[in-house]
Amino acid sequence: MKTIDLNCDMGESFGIWKMGADAAVMPYISSANIACGYHAGDPATIRATVRLAVDHGVAVGAHPSLPDLQGFGRRVMRITPQEMYDLVLYQAGAVEAFARAAGARLHHVKCHGALYNMAANDEALSDACARAVKDLGGGVLLYALAGSRMMACAKRLGVGAVGEAFADRGYEDDGTLAARNRPGGMIEDEPKAVAQALALIGEGYVTSLSGKRVPVEPGTLCLHGDQPGAAAFAKALRAAFQSHAIEVRAP
């Protein structure tokens, strides 16, 4: 039987402003990437989201970002490798503390938005991010774009790396994610997204926006909890996985 981890970005509410359908999506996933307060989230939201994950047996992960609440962490900023290290260690440490208080542990770190893409394409930033995860100790894993520089840096430093792919995102010919604002950058058709997920898991490829078959071998698949119908999509994915004898579990 094939296995796959299903992860989702969560805890992205802020104060009285609510975002995402965390409670509805949580039963269908195996790992949660919890916002750390820099693009979204706050201490109360982190605590509540960690508790929700623990109650559902979902692995607790940190989702660090650039300091960009106004831009939701999607705007590129020029940072040094030292700043990357500090950002990741500081934010992941906050989620780790809440996990420990809930009787759990920090399972993984996955960068958010622009920070994710910057680390995937810049070796110095990749190295700094991987060093921060290594210094967290405890065997914390690093989720990174499958085939990216981040994966190579993590492996070189002895950090457990899990290659990530996306069921609901379009891909370029080089295996990078297409921009969200590009036509096809977000896959909103549920059957098409489910088919892409099955191709990634079963055959190890994704069809790019130009129609090219691009090799991608994921250990985890991301679904976006802030998209309309996220819970229904998560349910459809789990049903498709069950019918294809694919087990969902955290690495």
**Mean model confidence pLDDT for the chain:** 95
pLDDT single digits (tens) 79-98: 999 999 999 999 999 999 99
Q: From CA 6, how far away is CA 136, in angstroms rounded?
A: 23
Asked if residue 62 lies in contact with residue 96, where contact means CB atoms within 8 angstroms, the answer is yes
More confident residue, 228 or 197: 197
- pLDDT at 181 exceeding the cut of 90: no
Asked if residue 243 lies in contact with residue 40, where contact means CB atoms within 8 angstroms, the answer is no
Q: What percent of the chain has pLDDT over 70?
A: 100
Asked if residue 215 lies in contact with residue 205, where contact means CB atoms within 8 angstroms, the answer is yes
In this prediction, residues 200-215 reach a mean pLDDT of 94
In this prediction, residues 101-114 reach a mean pLDDT of 98
> What does the block give as tokens for 167?
């069921």
In this prediction, residues 158-178 reach a mean pLDDT of 94
**E-strand spans in 17-75?**
31-35, 59-63
**E-strand spans in 18-153?**
31-35, 59-63, 106-110, 141-145
- pLDDT at 73 exceeding the cut of 90: no
For the entire predicted model, the pTM comes to 0.94
Residue type, 198: L
- Indicate the pLDDT class of residue 112, thresholds 50, 70 and 90: very high
Q: Show me where the domains of the chain are located.
A: 2-248
- Indicate the pLDDT class of residue 127, thresholds 50, 70 and 90: very high
What pLDDT does residue 142 have?
98
Q: From CA 183, how far away is CA 5, in angstroms rounded?
A: 28
What pLDDT does residue 144 have?
96
- pLDDT at 225 exceeding the cut of 80: no
> What does the block give as tokens for 157?
């430093």
What pLDDT does residue 224 have?
83
Query: Which residue in 196, 146, 198, 207 sits closest to 2, CA to CA?
Result: 198
At the top level of CATH, the class of 2-248 is alpha beta
Query: Which residue in 129, 128, 123, 149 sits closest to 141, CA to CA?
Result: 129
Asked if residue 90 lies in contact with residue 134, where contact means CB atoms within 8 angstroms, the answer is no
- pLDDT at 226 exceeding the cut of 80: no
What pLDDT does residue 20 have?
81
- Indicate the pLDDT class of residue 191, thresholds 50, 70 and 90: very high
pLDDT single digits (tens) 27-45: 999 999 999 999 999 999 9
Asked if residue 83 lies in contact with residue 131, where contact means CB atoms within 8 angstroms, the answer is no
Paired sense of beta strands 220-223 and 246-248, if any: unpaired
